């Protein structure tokens, strides 16, 4: 593999910062909700993947266990999530969306689709595919880099 040009690295970093700002991640709440990004992502992931435990959310969202615990508690209090007990192990508490959570999920999808659609309408079909493919490849590379760092970190499990 080749070492990337420092200018290319800086250009990608600048575009990433701009994208984060344009998508609203710098605001206190996200996607026309009263929730922070971590809560929005929790609703989206449980909606897409089905019931999950707090531990699974911690790993998936790359957040601290205590942060996930507080966020999940707030989402339960707000009626977005419900907690069940596992039939085989009472310590396992799968989280799923309530009816209110499913309505919030639908609103999140609607908001996100409108936001992306609005941006893509300004691009040709070829450019739209370049954006999809480029983001997919870049996200995969970021994950591979994080996974590689986790396996080589001094405190990683051996």
| C-alpha neighbours within 13 Å on the C-beta side of residue 149 | 6
Q: Are 54 and 72 in contact (CB under 8 A)?
A: yes
Helix %, strand %, coil % for the chain, to 5?
65, 5, 30
- Find, among 13, 7, 39, 14, the residue nearest to 25 by Cα: 39
pLDDT reported for residue 151: 87
3-class DSSP state of 124:
coil
Q: Give the pLDDT score at 158.
A: 47
Query: Each residue's pLDDT tens digit in the chain (158 positions)?
Result: 789 999 999 999 999 999 999 999 999 888 889 999 999 999 999 999 999 999 999 999 999 999 999 999 999 999 999 999 878 888 889 999 999 999 999 999 999 999 999 999 999 999 999 999 999 999 999 999 999 988 887 765 54
Domain boundaries, the chain: 27-123
Q: Does domain 27-123 have CATH number 3.40.50.670?
A: no
Q: Which residues contact 63 (CB under 8 A, 6 or more apart)?
A: 38, 57, 71
Closest by CA to 53, choosing from 157, 45, 147, is: 45
């Amino acid at each position: 593999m080749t070492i990337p040009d420092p200018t290319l690295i800086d250009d990608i970093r600048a575009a990433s910062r701009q994208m984060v700002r344009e998508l609203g991640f710098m605001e206190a709440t996200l996607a026309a909700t009263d929730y922070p990004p971590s809560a929005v992502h929790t609703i989206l992931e449980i909606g897409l993947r089905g019931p999950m435990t707090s531990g699974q959310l911690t790993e998936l969202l790359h957040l601290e266990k205590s942060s996930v615990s507080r966020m999940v508690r707030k989402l339960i209090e707000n009626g977005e999530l419900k907690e069940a007990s596992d039939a085989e192990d009472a310590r396992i508490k799968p989280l799923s969306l309530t009816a209110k959570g499913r309505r919030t999920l639908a609103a999140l999808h609607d908001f996100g689709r409108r936001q992306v659609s609005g941006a893509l309408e300004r691009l040709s079909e070829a450019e739209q595919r370049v954006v999809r493919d480029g983001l997919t490849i870049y996200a995969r590379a970021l994950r591979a880099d994080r996974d590689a760092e986790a396996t080589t970190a001094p405190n990683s499990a051996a």
